[in-house]
Amino acid sequence: MRDGDWVAQTGTEIRGVLKVMVDAGWLPGGVAVVGTDSMWEFVAVGGIARECGEAIAAPDVYYDTASLTKVMATWPLVGLAVGDGALDLDAPMGSYFPGGPRPGDGVTARQILTHTSRLNPVTWLERYVGTGQDLAEAILSEPLDDTGYRYIDRGFILLGLLLERLFGAPLDRLAEETWRSMGLSATTYGPLPRTPSVAPTERRIPGAAPTWGVVHDESAALMGGVAGHAGVFTTATDLGAFARELLRTYDGEGGPQPLTGFVRESWRPHVPVGEEFSRGLAWLVTDDGLVYHNGYTGTSLYLYPETGRYVGLLTNAVYHGRRRVGLFDLRAAVRASLVA
């Protein structure tokens, strides 16, 4: 199928699924960007939230990306650090955070990126509030979990702290410099103003205001909204630009040149985690070559390097609660459209 036909057909399919979800009251609305290297199309269905009145979903509305932060902020910065020689993926964390011995000293960045680090899978950071203990020290001091694959956030929290040490600047500033170099003009860490251009997420306590313009993830909120695993807000326009730049970088035709080898290494299977997919470096990789990552709030980014096609999804599905009904089917439709 020609690219133009694929873009139009996929946009129509996603619009149909989003409309079913909005009409059923499963989410307020959502935006998708469907594209290739030379063209893209935006699909916007529904609104933002009750608090935003008649405001409609649009390509310039900001959404909390949740765990897409891992691949939009932390992962490319790790790649740049590797390219600069500042970070060795196989060096133990203890060599970057002296002060051991601690259980986590032997953990490597590669293990963190493949979610095989064995760091404590419980992300809650409240236990450290008021203790005066450095967060990196606390993470490394926890007992290690059993050997094997387990998706956790603590590793990316630790990588965010490490990047700040390596580059001598706050994570949000480092990420912003990288995004601007890739042509992203809107992507940012919060907080953002509570306006109709920002999609609220969950109302955690009935009768209280929803989480709006500040990060949904509780641990990232404890860290001031800037963390290696969550905290980034973006628009469908920027998400499409990010996908396009990554695919060009993979092909060696654009993007930050030091990242080309790192992207290719990241997008190959490293650790099997299911019957049809594996974990690359940060990303999930299917047996048929699809590369993707999801965010808890209702976001996703899918790339198919073989064809240069991509789909980005931004919704605030968590607005109606953590069941996020219909989100699995929406993501399955996107995956099917890319590998058909």
Do 52 and 199 lie in one domain? The reply is: yes
Indicate the DSSP class of residue 143.
P
Residue after which a domain boundary falls, among 122, 149, 167: 167
Q: Over range 216-244, report the average pLDDT.
A: 97
256: pLDDT strictly greater than 80: no
Do 266 and 295 lie in one domain? The reply is: yes
pLDDT tens by residue, 86-97: 999 999 999 999
Average pLDDT, the chain: 95
Q: Are 278 and 162 in contact (CB under 8 A)?
A: no
Do 64 and 108 lie in one domain? The reply is: no
Do 188 and 304 lie in one domain? The reply is: yes
Structure tokens at 114: 């493949």
245: pLDDT strictly greater than 90: yes
CATH label of the domain that carries residue 43 = 3.40.710.10
Edge to edge, what strands does the sheet with 188-189 contain? Answer: 63-64, 232-234, 188-189
Do 245 and 266 lie in one domain? The reply is: yes
Categorize the per-residue pLDDT at 107 as very low, low, confident or very high, splitting at 50, 70 and 90. Answer: very high
**Domain boundaries, position 157:** 86-167
Residue after which a domain boundary falls, among 130, 149, 167: 167
> Distance (Å, rounded) from C-alpha 87 to C-alpha 110?
11
Do 178 and 262 lie in one domain? The reply is: yes
Single-letter code of the amino acid located at 48: I
Question: Is the preceding peptide bond at 191 cis, omega within 30 degrees of 0?
Answer: yes
> Distance (Å, rounded) from C-alpha 45 to C-alpha 29?
5
> Distance (Å, rounded) from C-alpha 106 to C-alpha 140?
9
Do 112 and 36 lie in one domain? The reply is: no
pLDDT tens by residue, 112-154: 999 999 999 988 899 999 999 999 999 999 999 999 999 999 9
Do 213 and 328 lie in one domain? The reply is: yes
* Number of domains comprising the chain: 2
pLDDT of residue 253: 84
> Distance (Å, rounded) from C-alpha 65 to C-alpha 333?
20
Residue 160, domain member (yes or no)? yes
Chain position carrying tokens 């299977």:
269
Single-letter code of the amino acid located at 286: T
pLDDT tens by residue, 41-82: 999 999 999 999 999 999 999 999 999 999 999 999 999 999
Residue 133, domain member (yes or no)? yes
Do 181 and 157 lie in one domain? The reply is: no
pLDDT of residue 255: 66
pLDDT tens by residue, 158-202: 999 999 999 999 999 999 999 999 999 999 999 999 999 999 999
Q: Which residues pair with 286 in a beta bridge?
A: 277
Do 161 and 201 lie in one domain? The reply is: no
> Distance (Å, rounded) from C-alpha 77 to C-alpha 172?
11
254: pLDDT strictly greater than 90: no
Q: Which residues pair with 293 in a beta bridge?
A: 301
Residue 80, domain member (yes or no)? no
- Reference 335, options 295, 297, 284, 296; nearest CA is 284
Residue 79, domain member (yes or no)? no
Residue after which a domain boundary falls, among 167, 182, 206: 167
